[in-house]
Chain A
Amino acid sequence: MADAERIYEMMKKSIETYDSDAAVAAAELAIAEGLDLLTAVEKGFANPIRELGEAFDRMEVFLPELTLGADAMKAGVAVLEKALNAKGGKLKSKGTVIVGTVEGDIHDIGKSVVATLLQANGYQVHDLGVDIPAPRIIEAAESHNADVIALSALLSTTMLYQRDVIELLKNKGLRDKYFILVGGAPVTQAWADEIGADGFAHDAFEAVLLLDSVKEGWGK
C-alpha cells in the first residue's frame, strides 16, 4: 500500500509539473508493481487533473498549464489503458462525448477547454476540431456510439449550424439518442431552447457540472 501511495504521488506530481515523461514512467511503475489499474487511473491521474481543472476555473493556472497537465494525464492513462485492455479490462467512463466547433467557425480555444475538462472528469471525448459540417458530427457520434454531442459556436453567424445539427438528427430519426449540449460566446439559454438543445453551458466547468448532473450513471 505504501508503494501504491508513492506511485499515486508520482503520478500526481507529473500532472502538477506538466511532465508527460514522468506520467508515463509512473504508469509503467504501477503496472510493474501490479497495482489495481483502475484505482491508479482514479487516484493517480483523475483526481489531480480535476484539481488542475478547478484551479483553471479559478484562474490560478492558465491554458498552457491546463493543456500540459492534460497531456501528461493522457500519456499516463494511455499506458494504463493499454495494460488494462491486454487483461480484458476497460477504463471506466461516465459517457462518450463528441465535441466540435460547427461549420464555418474556426474558433478552437473554448471547445478545446471543454474537451480537456470533460476528459479530466471521466468522460471519453472525441474532439473533432473546428469547422465541422453537421453530417460529419453525426457520423462521428454514430460511429463512436456517443451519448453526448457538444457543439461550440463563437460567432452569431455560425450559431445557426448548431440548429442544423439538431435538425439533421431529427430528419435521420436519431435526435433522441443524444444529449445535445451547446455553448460559445453568442450562445444563450434562449437560443438553446429555441433550437431544441438539451443543455447550455457558459463555460467548460459548467459543461462538466451539467453533464454530471443530468446523466449520472452513464457508462458503457
Chain B
Amino acid sequence: MNFKEIAKRSETGPLTEAKDFLMKSVAANAMRLSKEYDITWDGKTLINLDDDMADRCFQAGRELFINTGVYSMNSSRVVKFSTSEVDDALRFTRSQVAMGQGKDQVCIHHRQVEDARKPFIFCGPFNANVHEDMFVKLNEAFSQEKIVDCLFFPGYLNEVDGQLIRPTSALASRAAILYGQWAREAVRRGGRPGMAIAGHAVMAPGEIACTNEATGLRSTDPRAMVLISELQVDDVTLTRTAYYLAYGCPIYMAFTPLIGGYGGGVPGSSVVAVASFIASIMLGGEIVHMGPQHMKYKQQTNLHSLFLASLANQAVARNSNIIATTSHTTSGRPGSAQYAYEFSALALTAVTSGSNVSGPRPAEPLGNNNVSPLMGKLFAEVAHAAAGMSRDKATPIVEALYAKYKDNLDLETAPKGQPFEELYDLETLTPTLEHQALYDQVKEELVNLGIPLL
C-alpha cells in the first residue's frame, strides 16, 4: 500500500481512545480468536511441531489484524485496512531484499520452516549503550567477523563530547551524525566498506542527520522502525518511514509481542504476533523483526518466548513471503557461558521455525559496552548450524540448553558478564585469552549437545 494512504488514514481513521483500542479491540479479539482457532500451549513444549496449528495461528492473526488495524498514538485514530488490501499486501510482499554495496552487498530471504538455506545474520551492539570512546573499536570488531551479514544497531550513544544527550536536542543531532560516521568508519577499518549497517538512532531528526552516502548511513542500509506494543504506531515512526521510503532504504520494522500483556498468555500473544507481522508490512516494512518479549522476565529466552517464537515464525513462514527475523535478548551477559546457552536455544528455535536472526544482547546491559563480538560470532555459527535442522532434532538440544539456564532468568541474579574492553585486547582487537577460552569451552559443549558447529 502506498505510504500516502497510510499517512492519510492516520489523520482520518476512526477516533478512538487508546485504552479502548487495546482492551476492546486487541485484547478482546485476541482472546476470542485464539479460542476460535484453537491455539493452545501446554506450558511445557519449547518448539511447536504442529503445522496445522501454525496455519490456524496465521489465519487468526490475519483476522485479528483485519479487525483491529493499527492505532496511531498521536492522532488517536485507527488506521484500518480492508481484507483485500491485506491479502494483496501479503501476496505481493517481497521475499528477498538486498542491502550493502559492492562486494559487501548481501541479500536476505524469506525462509521456510526447516529451510536448508542459511539464515541472514544481523549482529552488532543491538542498541546497547556504547561509550563514544569505544564506538569505532567495538563496531570494527563486529565487522571483522565475516559470518556477520549486517552490522546491527551500532549502539546507543547516550553521551557525546562528555555530555549526556537529550533526545531531540542539537546535541542529539550531532551524536546521530557521529553515529553514522563512526559506524561507517568501523566497517571501513574492518575491511568491509560496503557492509550494510542497520541503523536505529531513535528520534526522527537524528535518523535523518546520520544519513550520508559518503560518510554515514546510506540508502542501501536498512533502517529500523519500531511498533509500540500492541499494534500501535507513533508519528516519529511514521515520519521516519516516510523519509526512508522516499530515500530508498530497506525498511526494517520491529515489534515486540508482550507475553502477559494485551494479548494475554502465549496463545493470544502468538496471534497478536502474527497480526503485528502483517501490520509491519502494511506500514512499509520489508524485513520484519519480532522480539518475543515476556512481561515478567523482560527478556526473550524464557520458556514462553521460545514457544511463541517457534509458533509465530512458523505461521508466517508457512503462509506468507514475509522476511522474518527474530531478536535475541538474554538474562546472562557477555563473558558468561549462560549468555551463549540462551542465545543458542532461541537461535535453534527461531531458525528451524523459518526465521533469520538478530542479536544477541543482554536484556539488561550493565553499563556501557556490555557486548561481545566473539559471542556474536558464536551466535551466528549456531544459527548457521541450525539451517536444515529439523524441529524434532532441535527440540532435545533446546531442552538441554534451557535446563542449563532456566533457574537463572532473574536479571538481578543472572551472570553480570564483562564489558567489551575487558573481553578484548584493544590494541589488536582480538579476544583476551580468557574470553577465547570461554568461547572454545562453550562451543565444545554445544557440539557435544548435537549442534554441528564445524
Q: Which residues of chain A have a CB within 8 Å of any CB of chain B?
A: 57, 59, 62-65, 67-68, 104, 106-109, 155-161, 163-164, 185-186, 188, 190, 202-203
Contacts and interface: CB of A to CB of B under 8 A. Distances in A.
Given A161-B166, A202-B412, 17 more contacts: A59-B260, A59-B265, A59-B295, A62-B268, A63-B27, A64-B264, A67-B23, A106-B234, A108-B18, A108-B228, A109-B261, A109-B262, A155-B167, A159-B158, A160-B164, A163-B164, A164-B166
Given A67-B23, A68-B23, A109-B229, A156 B127 contact: yes
B167 A64 contact: no
Given A68-B23, A109-B258, A157 B264 contact: no
Contacts of A164: 166
Interface string B384-398: 000000000000000
B23 A107 contact: no
A140 B264 CA distance: 33
B11 to A, nearest CB: 18
Contact of B260 (A62, A68, A155, A159): A62
By Cβ-Cβ distance, the 8 closest A-B pairs, closest first, are A64-B27, A157-B167, A62-B264, A156-B156, A63-B261, A104-B167, A62-B260, A157-B202
A99 B411 CA distance: 24
Given A62-B265, A63-B260, A106 B228 contact: yes
B63 interface: no
Contacts of B23: 64, 67-68
Interface of B: 18-19, 23, 27-28, 31, 73, 127, 129, 156, 158, 164-168, 172, 202-203, 228-229, 234, 258, 260-265, 268, 295-296, 298, 364, 366-367, 411-412
Interface of A (DSSP majority class): loop
Nearest to A106: B234
Contacts of B202: 155, 157
B261 A188 contact: no
B31 A64 contact: yes
A157 B31 CA distance: 34
B414 to A, nearest CB: 12
B164 A59 contact: no
Nearest to A64: B27
A202 B411 contact: yes
Given A106-B234, A109-B229, A160 B265 contact: no
A119 to B, nearest CB: 15
A215 B156 CA distance: 36
Contacts of A63: 27, 258, 260-262, 264, 295
Contacts of B234: 106
Contact of A157 (B203, B258, B265): B203
Contact of B367 (A59, A161, A190): A190
A156 B201 CA distance: 11
Contacts of A65: 264
